[in-house]
Chains A and B, each alone.
Chain A
């Protein structure tokens, strides 16, 4: 092996060039300079290589050495990821904090999962077994709610030559030795490495058919998300993107949540770190943190690592997917990732396309979102990755390149609206311009598992909201009072749908999460109110009289007052509505 060592000749922020690097490979990880800053080769031109550096380059000199590592930028996959927080290149932030208190310096080297901790391993492979890629050879109870399955890496298969007994092992201990058909012996430990930019293989892709239940009414009932689907959430600042993403991370019924804080606020990550361990997952009764992995590359951390953080997150997601889990990835925000691409592209002096973004922005976005999906894993299990990407369009202008291109590659689009946010209508998902391409696909699931008329009710409510939007144009010119009674009823019903159903308070103990059953019954109650009110209006009863009925107030507050596990109260409310209206109409007869 030739001795490979480059020499720094050019420094411009995170972009460094070195000579004597003809034998380096693109995407290879390197260490730069005396401080051994971590970098990645992005291009090679003859003898010169361009390196993007994941750490601060202040203090670096021309003439310092660049060393190769011989492998591409990779993640270490093994037990110890859940409940942890990493930077953009999978270095555990808690460990960094032990090395350097409070502030993140450069040159701390490549850290990864804890290799001292002993895990209780159950070895499932037996000597003589023939193992295919993706077969589980051992399991570890990583947290009380998640079993970590150790799988034979892709492209390796063979007969088990040796299997260690069950017991405590560290990350790099060999637990199984495989003998491949060509006679090589391969040690299988508790961990493996995977290049982040490469998608992990699966047996085949499966059609999408079940929802990711989020407990957020506007999403589950109006714009459902599918497990294995892709979702874009664009919104200007202050529209509640992060709260929406946090809500999804908390309440989605995925097995594993990977939350990528990409170029966002430090305090938001701290918030998650403080809040999630205290929150209990309603399905497993364990702290939410036990199923969560956080990746934090906050806005003030080096920009190149921000670019990598998205890939680090998705590679981890694919690993847990391969164990047969449903994984949801929240990327907040993909715009910051795109900006990191732009910044580096600019420093590489590439020809810019739209708004300075590189021409490969759309293809990179597509590659990222295409790593979502419902699949049959190599091990033969059904599993999925759902990607929910926040987009931060400058000035709230959805026609900018990142939003536009994201729209092309996602099937559900939850547009956050400034006007709704200003009125503190949260979540500020615009019910007129948002869409979900999964509503049709999931119709069967909803009719089998919730109620056959769930989707019908949804369509009916959405129609009312659309009618209201049209009427509002008239109201803005002539005022509400001149509308005929039936149109005034549409406005009133739209108000009830918005306040009583769509608005959901993330901070309210009862309101923060709504079960599908309660959602359905709430819709049913609103529908009953509408149908009865419609009859009443036809009899000439004024809308103002209807509005002042006690049941209307009850409908508006049912989201707060009726707990998820007491939905029979909604049936009672339904009966009261029918009663009160028949009393009302008797008075008018």
Chain B
């Protein structure tokens, strides 16, 4: 029987402080029994001699200096993993909340994991067809990639994520080796329900593992949620050889929880009050995506975050963008125009795309076509701001063609039905069709041979 400590020195924010404690491990899991019944979990975050600071995942509400019995477990925080977790729902710290009882397994894994050795990594190259033209053509998702969705509050990013889950499954997978791990931090109940329903509709729900911390659940619990989810994902991918798609939402709530703990610890804040280690901390989540040599499975990670005030330079999207392999940026303006998915293609990017597209993967002309669409759409923005000043009528001929191109691109290429699943060939052909509105002299990013083969406009000027 482990020793119980009954006296707390201090309770502050999410932290409790104990004194006269011996034989404690840094980072170990702490079990806290409040008023003799309710069990909470904590983690040792600082040891100073016999004084120990514990972060309580469920929060400290209701804890007094005398009503808690604290036990140090001698173990780091773990979650149970097995094939049985497929189809199950857990709370933010990995306890079952679906009424189906404990997971029967002896295998438990440390939720913090350990960094993948860069030597052991396999560079991701396999294209995932999401069926969404803007993504497939311009910011191609690669199996094993971490590609976040940068959204804003009120923009329907959940629908996009569900759309990706639904379509991404089909490409060459059967249900046997495909799984979705869903980690929700501080999401609204209806958002969580939306995902549950959409997983049911797309027929994957028996291959989904959910770790859910809702908006009204304890804030500190959110620190553990993505780690539980990724620990499960690592097990499924690297031990059971499954292709795992991990959706984490909303990383903004996660970062806010981190800030709250940091300020309770009285740490020196960095930008906007977030701790200086926000980058390192986020990387220990995002970098768990990937593929490993000699293993069949993969972890593809799609974190969703809402940019506070739609500001892409805010520390959360900013630091995320520095770690992830690109980003899908959603635009409020397109959303308001009723374009779904409202993907702002210019700031969006997939860094792994260069190695996963082209002749042997998608189609030979893919890279050139994408580059030309980006260049042309960037020109569209310039022309639009010009036309606001001098009016559309006074624009030059070429500029007017660009305006028309921009409209078509948004309305026919970026925009598509909520259930629509376009093949990559359809997507690329559609791209050429719209690009062919421009005279051939404007296509300076595309090799002559591809222009001759695919361009649908008048070849002679």
Nearest B residue to A425 by beta-carbon distance?
A: B375
The 8 closest A-B pairs by CB, nearest first: A395-B313, A299-B283, A423-B378, A237-B321, A58-B27, A300-B287, A269-B118, A103-B114
A267 to chain B, nearest CB (A): 6
In Å, the complex CA distance between A250 and B124 comes to 21
Q: Does A303 sit within 8 A of B, measured CB to CB?
A: yes
The one of B124, B318, B396 that contacts A267, using a Cβ cutoff of 8 Å: B124
In-complex Cβ contact of B118 among A236, A263, A273 (8 A): A273
User: What per-residue 1/0 map shows which CB atoms of B390-405 lie under 8 Å from chain A?
Assistant: 1000111001000000
Q: Are B25 and A60 in contact (CB under 8 A)?
A: yes
Assess whether A128 is interfacial by the CB under 8 Å rule: no
Q: At the interface, yes or no: B24 with Cβ under 8 Å from chain A?
A: yes
Minimal beta-carbon separation of B277 from chain A (angstroms): 5
With a cutoff of 8 Å between Cβ atoms, the chain A residues found around residue B321 in the complex are 236-238
Apart from A12-B46, A424-B371, list 15 A-B contacts with CB within 8 A.
A57-B27, A58-B76, A85-B119, A94-B119, A104-B117, A237-B327, A261-B118, A266-B118, A266-B121, A267-B290, A269-B121, A355-B270, A394-B271, A481-B394, A548-B461
A103 and B287 contacting across the interface, CB-CB below 8 Å: no
Beta-carbon contacts under 8 Å, A266-281 to B: 266-267, 269-271, 273-274
Q: Does B175 contact A (CB under 8 A)?
A: no
Residues of B near A300 (CB, < 8 A) are: 115, 280, 283-284, 286-288
Number of interface residues of B (CB under 8 A): 86
Beta-carbon contacts of B301-318 to A below 8 Å, as 1s and 0s? Answer: 000000000000111001
Beta-carbon contact of B354 and A507 below 8 Å = yes
Residues in chain A near residue B379, CB distance under 8 A: 423
A274 & B123 in contact (Cβ 8 Å cutoff): yes
Q: How far is the CB of A466 from chain B (nearest CB, A)?
A: 19
Q: Which of A59, A303, A342, A557 has the most CB of B within 10 A?
A: A59
Size class of the A contact interface (CB-based, 8 Å):
35 or more
Q: For residue B45, which residues in chain A have a CB less than 8 angstroms away from its CB?
A: 12
Asked whether, in the complex, the Cβ of B287 is within 8 Å of the Cβ of A56, the reply is: no
A63 and B115 contacting across the interface, CB-CB below 8 Å: no
> With A57-B27, A303-B280 given, is the CB distance from A477 to B119 under 8 Å?
no
List the A residue with the shortest CB-CB distance to B372.
A424
Residues of B within 8 A of A352 (CB): 268
Give the secondary structure class of B's interface: mixed
Residue A159 at the B interface, CB < 8 A?
A: no
Cα–Cα distance between A299 and B283 once the two chains are bound (Å): 6
Q: Which residues between 414 and 461 of chain B lie within 8 Å of chain A, taking CB atoms?
A: 441, 444-445, 447-448, 461
CB <8 Å contact, A481 and B396: yes
| Complex Cα gap A94–B352 (Å) | 24
Q: A476 touching B386 by the CB < 8 A rule?
A: yes
A85→B117 CA distance, assembly (Å): 11
- Among the 9-residue stretches B7-15, B47-55, B187-195, B253-261, the one with 4 or more Cβ atoms under 8 Å from chain A is B47-55
Q: Are A93 and B119 in contact (CB under 8 A)?
A: yes
Enumerate B252-295 residues with CB–CB distance to A below 8 Å. 267-271, 275-277, 279-280, 283-284, 286-288, 290, 292, 295
Q: Contacts A11-B46, A59-B26, A422-B347; is A270 near B114 (CB within 8 Å)?
A: no
Counting CB contacts under 8 A, is B120 at the interface?
Answer: yes
Residue picked from A57, A102, A478, A556, most chain B C-beta under 10 Å:
A102
